[in-house]
Structure 1
Amino acid sequence: MKNLDILIVEGNIEQDSKMFIEAAGAKVSENLKNLFLKFEPKANIEIIHPGNDKESSAALDKINSYDGIAFTGGAMRLNDMSEEIKKHIKFAKECLESGKKILAICWGLQVCSVAAGGKVNKGKNGAHMGIAKSVKINEAGLRHPLYESKKNEFNTPAFNFDEVCEIPENSIVLASNSVNDVMGLNINYKNSVVWGMQYHSDYEYKQTINLTNLRKEKLLNNNYFKNDDDFSKHISVIKEEDKKLSFENKTFEIRNWLKFIKD
């Protein structure tokens, strides 16, 4: 069997990537690439930034050569609808039109959902800041290959303030929790299939703890925490969860998608 050819679509602008590099040691796209290579060491992986017209155009010119396309997380807020964000949506729409197998993580899920006709708004029940608790796979999710071998209920690294509030046509919600109704989503768009997650199978808690600490002032100013003590207790909860984290269970979605694009 030939080596996999995968396109990773970076979800951050350069300025935001600096924070992710400080928190995780690499850009979101590079972090995901490293995880892919852990499971598929011979895969050919290309990274592009959809805000870069030259990179986007070159990738679209050879779109049929990719076995799969992965959209990463990112720090932008979709309803800001800047020119940069419009380019991310446009590129996602082009990928959906091409009939590809797509993995969409966090920001990537939101972008692909909007590109397919869905809507995204600020999370009505709050935000995930470093961790998502008690994500439950529903009956449709239990039958879906994204969650093959996954525990039916799990905690996971996560960071998001927004959520998919209206799913696209021909979509199925696969998992939910008390914060976001759409934690796992399958989108069928023409001949394309999107497996989406509103959390990070690609990140470790140590990385999301660093990211949460870097955003501390902003989180406090926006009243996500009452005070420093409340913030510290939250970090302690994530640290305790980190001790119990199973790398195998955390990454089943990644491995299942890689298996999917091999078929």
Structure 2
Amino acid sequence: MSDLNILIVEGNIREDSEFFIKAAGASAADNLKNLILKLEPLANTEIVNPGHDDETMNALKNMSKYDGIVFTGGAMRINDMTDVIKKHINFAFNCLNENKKILAICWGLQVCSTAAGGKANPGKNGAHIGIASDVIINNEGQKHFIYKDKKKIFTSPAFNFDEVSDLPKNAILLSSDKVNNVMGVIFNVGNSEVIGLQYHPDYEYFQMLNLIAGRKERLFTNKNFLNEEEYQSHISYIKSEDELLNFKDRTCEVRNWLNYIKN
């Protein structure tokens, strides 16, 4: 295959994108685009925001040209079920009917799972605040190409308060951690294949630290941290993990997916 054509689905509304740009240096979609172009410099990428009806209509009309679709992370929460969230779910549902290879990250996984008949709810065991520790790849995951060259137990940037609580029909769980049972998963809907990750191979820890700082007041209000000492300890932990993480290890799932859709 020559140049890849990839559709990137923005997971944020405008206000949240402005926060992401300020804190992380790019919108969720642009951050993912930047990573894809580092891995595949000749790839053609287009960004669509499901909240904009004209963009989704145009993307669906031209769906045949895309080799793959990536749904990014975002700050919305499924159970709020606003009109915009319904548009995200509806667009995902339409994409699932288009015989596509889909990579769904964080919010994207929750949206695609909901569109496929699963459910997302607030995490029963808490939240990932900038980091997911000791994610374990199970036997099915070790056999799947998405985890090629990945350590069986790994730590990764992550930021989510919700989780996929009920998997779509016939889904296969690939990885889990102590916070979320569903960290990696694959499921088919019609002729479309979704690979979902509840963590962020597309973000670096310094970006997560900036997002945490920008949400600090909300994190204390929601009792994710009970005091400043606990907060600072968590920040120190992420900084220590930042020293251990390298680009190849962090991003291998995206690289593996890109190699897959090229074939």
Q: Which TM-score band applies after superposition, normalised by the shorter structure?
A: over 0.9
DSSP 3-state at the match of 2:203: coil
Determine the structure 2 residue equivalent to 1:166. 166
2 CA distance for matches of 1:199 and 1:23? 18
Alignment deviations for residues 46-103 of structure 1 (CA, whole Å, 9 cap, x no partner): 0010010000000000111100000000000011000000000000000001110000
1:10-46 deviation per Cα after TM superposition (whole angstroms, max 9, x unaligned): 0000000111111111101001000000011011100
> 3-state DSSP class of the match of 1:251?
helix
The equivalences for 1:81-96 within 5 A come to 81-96=81-96
Compute the RMSD of aligned alpha carbons: 0.6
Contact 1:141 1:173 in 2 (8 A): yes
Q: CA deviation at 1:167?
A: 0.2
Give the corresponding residue for 1:135.
135
Is the partner of 2:243 in helix, strand or coil? Answer: helix
Structure-1 residue corresponding to 2:124: 124
Q: Which residue in 2 is equivalent to 1:198?
A: 198
* Offset at residue 246 of structure 1 (A): 2.1
Q: Given the alignment of the two structures, is residue 235 of structure 1 paired with residue 245 of structure 2, yes or no? A: no
Q: Deviations over 1:212-234 (max 9, x none)?
A: 11100000011111111111111
Spell out, residue by residue over 1:124-170, the C-alpha distance to the aligned partner (whole angstroms, 9 max, x if none).
Answer: 00000000000000000000111011110000000000000000002
Q: How far is the alpha carbon of 1:189 from its aligned partner?
A: 0.8
Matches within 5 A, 1:51-62: 51-62=51-62
Distance 1:124 1:61 in 2: 39
Runs (4 or more) in structure 1 with deviation over 4 Å come to none
CA distance, structure 1, for counterparts of residue 205 and residue 22 of structure 2: 14
Opposite residue 6 of structure 1, the aligned amino acid is I
How many matched pairs?
Answer: 263
TM-score normalised by length of structure 1: 0.99
Q: In structure 2, how many angstroms separate the alpha carbons of the residues matched to 1:224 and 1:26? A: 25
Q: Which residue of 2 aligns with 1:252?
A: 252
Q: How does 1:63-82 map to 2 (within 5 A)?
A: 63-82=63-82
State the shift of 1:243 in Å.
0.4
Question: CA contact under 8 A between 1:170 and 1:189: conserved in structure 2?
Answer: no
Question: In the alignment, what sits opposite 1:217?
Answer: 217
- Give, as a single letter, the amino acid of the residue that structure 1 aligns with 2:42: K
1-structure distance, mates of 2:186, 2:64: 21
CA deviations over 1:193-245 (Å, ceiling 9, x no partner): 01110000000000001001110000001111111111111111000100011
The residue aligned with 2:44 is 44
Distance 1:260 1:64 in 2: 18
CA distance in 2, matches of 1:92, 1:83: 14
Q: Equivalent residue for 1:100?
A: 100
Q: Which residue of 2 aligns with 1:208?
A: 208
Cα distance in 1 between the residues matched to 2:66 and 2:174: 26
Q: Is 1:152 the counterpart of 2:152 in the alignment?
A: yes
In structure 1, what is the Cα distance between the partners aligned to 2:155 and 2:109?
Answer: 19
